[in-house]
Amino acid sequence: MEEKELTVSDVKKLNSNKGLKAILSRKTLNYERAIRYVDYERKLKKLQVEIIRMQTWAIENNERIIVLFEGRDAAGKGGAIRRITERINPRHMRIVALPKPTEDQRTQWYFQRYVEQFPKAGEIVFFNRSWYNRAVVEPVNGFCTQKEYEVFMNQVNDFERMILESGIRLVKIYMSITKREQAKRFLDIKNNPLKQWKMTPVDERAQELWDDYTEYKKAMFSKTNTKIAPWRVIRGNRKTVARITAINYLLKNIPYDKDTEV
């Protein structure tokens, strides 16, 4: 395949600190990949400035914002959240990734432990998985009964309507990847000592249960992709593109004072 001829702009990008880092971090030279990385870093920086502006607006106007990230295991939810939050004021935001419920929590209303994490005035809360565990992960893995699943599906839209009517802004994002890409990422996690902690027993069964996840995911979208609280499905096979798309979607759905086009 004929290689693309580098432009003057491309050469400048490759000669930058980020460009050189992108080239040297790979075992094989790939100039196009390095150029894409530089472009991604520039876009990310611009968007992070907008996120700071959005957070400032939220603080000044006592806004309460919830951002849900759902998706397949290893789909890039955590990575997207990190890029959104790494430059903003940590005193006015929280990342929530709840462990499995305690015995006491199992006796409570299902939504209760999530409500306890809701934002106060001027705060943004990011859920890395949320109450939608009961829509997909729990029934697929046998962590809830069929009755509990049905009760959840009957209540969730009313629950989100109450959230919105109380003045909280709700953004729902679903990160989607292919089965092949998930297998590739699992292999990377298992082979990387710095990432091995991420692999859970649920992750270990994700490939085997792929079709079951798909079935429940479709049911979730069919029931909960409502006009007032829609889902935004983002293709996550290319992490950098997915992160930029997620940030743009978040910024688009929060009516802060935009000074630039994003």
pLDDT of residue 165: 98
In a domain, 39, yes or no: no
51 burial type by CB count under 10 A (0-12 exposed, 13-18 middle, 19+ buried)? buried
In a domain, 126, yes or no: yes
pLDDT of residue 2: 45
Domain that holds residue 248: 62-252
In a domain, 244, yes or no: yes
In a domain, 42, yes or no: no
Provide DSSP, 141-207.
Answer: HTSS-HHHHHHHHHHHHHHHHHHHHTT-EEEEEEEE--HHHHHHHHHHHHH-TTTGGG--HHHHTTT
User: Alpha-carbon distance 137 to 140, whole Å?
Assistant: 5
In a domain, 53, yes or no: no
User: Alpha-carbon distance 172 to 228, whole Å?
Assistant: 11
Q: What is the pLDDT along the chain (262 residues), one digit of tens a residue?
A: 345 666 766 656 666 766 556 555 655 656 677 788 889 999 999 999 999 999 999 999 999 999 999 999 999 999 999 999 999 999 999 999 999 999 999 999 999 999 999 999 999 999 999 999 999 999 999 999 999 999 999 999 999 999 999 999 999 999 999 999 999 999 999 999 999 999 999 999 999 999 999 999 999 999 999 999 999 999 999 999 999 999 999 999 999 987 654 4
CATH code (residue 197): 3.40.50.300
Q: How many domains does the chain have?
A: 1
User: Alpha-carbon distance 257 to 193, whole Å?
Assistant: 43
In a domain, 82, yes or no: yes
pTM for the model:
0.87
In a domain, 217, yes or no: yes
pLDDT of residue 119: 98
In a domain, 18, yes or no: no
Amino acid letter, residue 207: Q
